């Protein structure tokens, strides 16, 4: 969605994972990187390697757990806003820009060189996120054009991107949020989820890489352009979390977190012991019942798969 929030601090979730493996205590360490950019996308590969992306064509990479960051550049992209980055190790990564022109780039040499894989100059094109099942199979998803959500699919590492005319129809005023690159979530070998906002807050789910879709209503706050689902995370094929709310009212702790235990068919709104306001990102810590949610006014942790949260 083109009018989503303008700033999102870079949050280093892999640092939390390392700490959580030793004790049930969260600590965040601020890492300064003067880019003059709004950083939106982050992809954690392991406790050492992570990639980040943002406005003004900014791409960052760390190989030492964030102690130092390398700024990478793609010639001619200084005006692009890279809202999402997906990486596979130190060498392979993809970035996608929001707005027109919409671009997808890939590197196979750690960011030394980049190949433009996709370009679309349609005035109303706007991609919200990028997600991959593996290093070759992935999907890009974006706001609707002529009433239909935009979707691309690759099965060959981005050599070709197929426009999916099977993507769902949007309701009037419904779109997605390119706030953190996590409104799109790929799971397993073929399943993908997309959370919407604006007029409706719905979960779009495909179990065949976007060929067919099931659509589920959710209790997440919606009705205004600033409201809806901002992030989707699934622990397995049954347990999942949605976070969002209203980015124009960060302290508003209403209709901003919900959990499912049936793969997204039904959702339980978390009202007591909920996150303390609008949240634009959520992630499960692997091999645990722990989830972390982040937003512009704070962060929260859950030790019971999202049923209750602490600041």
What is the residue-averaged pLDDT of the chain? 92
Longest CA span, the chain: 51
Tokens 């209203």 found at: 246
Tokens 């977190």 found at: 257
β partners of residue 41: 53
* Res 299: pLDDT: 95
Summarised one tens digit per residue, pLDDT across range 98-110 is 999 999 999 999 9
Write the DSSP string, 111-166: TSS-EEEEEE--TT--EEEEEESSSS-EEEEEEEETTEEEEEEESSTTS--EE-TT
Indicate the pTM of the whole model: 0.92
Burial (CB count within 10 angstroms: exposed 0-12, middle 13-18, buried 19+), residue 156: exposed
* Res 17: pLDDT: 42
* Res 309: pLDDT: 98
Residue 18 pLDDT class (50, 70, 90 cuts): very low
Nearest to 161 by CA among 179, 182, 141, 188: 141
Residues 6 or more apart from 276 whose CB is under 8 A from it? Answer: 251, 253, 297, 298, 300, 309, 311
Please name each of the domains of the chain with its CATH number. 180-311 (2.130.10.10)
Summarised one tens digit per residue, pLDDT across range 254-304 is 999 999 999 999 999 999 999 999 999 999 999 999 999 999 999 999 999
* Res 12: pLDDT: 41
Q: Is residue 205 within 8 Å of 240, Cβ to Cβ?
A: no
**Alpha-carbon distances of 250 from 119, 136, 297, rounded to whole Å:** 34, 37, 6
* Res 19: pLDDT: 41
Instruction: Report whether pLDDT(22) > 50.
Output: no
Summarised one tens digit per residue, pLDDT across range 60-74 is 999 999 999 999 999
Cis amide linkage into residue 293, ω under 30° from 0: no
């Amino acid at each position: 969605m083109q009018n989503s929030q303008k700033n999102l601090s870079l949050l280093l979730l892999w640092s939390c994972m390392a700490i959580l493996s030793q004790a049930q205590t969260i600590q965040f360490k601020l890492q300064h990187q003067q880019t003059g950019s709004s950083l939106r996308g982050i992809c954690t590969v392991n406790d050492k390697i992570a990639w980040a992306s943002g406005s003004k064509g900014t791409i960052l990479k760390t190989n030492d757990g964030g102690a130092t960051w390398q700024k990478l550049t793609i010639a001619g992209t200084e005006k692009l806003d890279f809202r999402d980055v997906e990486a596979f190790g130190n060498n392979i990564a993809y970035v996608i820009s929001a707005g027109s022109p919409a671009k997808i780039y890939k590197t196979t040499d750690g960011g030394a060189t980049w190949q433009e894989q996709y370009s679309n100059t349609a005035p109303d094109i706007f991609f919200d996120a990028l997600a991959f099942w593996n290093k070759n199979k992935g999907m890009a998803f974006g706001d609707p054009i002529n009433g239909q959500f935009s979707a691309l699919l690759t099965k060959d590492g981005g050599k070709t991107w197929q426009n999916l005319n099977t993507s769902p129809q949007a309701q009037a005023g419904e779109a997605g949020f390119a706030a953190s690159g996590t409104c799109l979530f790929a799971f397993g070998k073929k399943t993908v989820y997309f959370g919407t906002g604006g007029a409706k807050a719905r979960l779009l789910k495909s179990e065949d890489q976007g060929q067919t879709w099931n659509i589920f209503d959710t209790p997440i706050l919606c009705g205004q352009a600033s409201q809806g689902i901002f992030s989707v995370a699934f622990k397995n094929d049954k347990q999942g979390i949605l976070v969002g709310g209203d980015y124009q009212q960060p302290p508003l702790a209403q209709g901003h977190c919900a959990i499912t235990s049936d793969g997204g068919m039904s959702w339980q709104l978390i009202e007591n012991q909920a996150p303390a306001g609008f949240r634009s990102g959520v992630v499960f810590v692997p091999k645990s019942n722990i989830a972390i949610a982040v937003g512009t006014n704070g962060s929260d942790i859950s030790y019971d798969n999202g049923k209750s949260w602490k600041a």
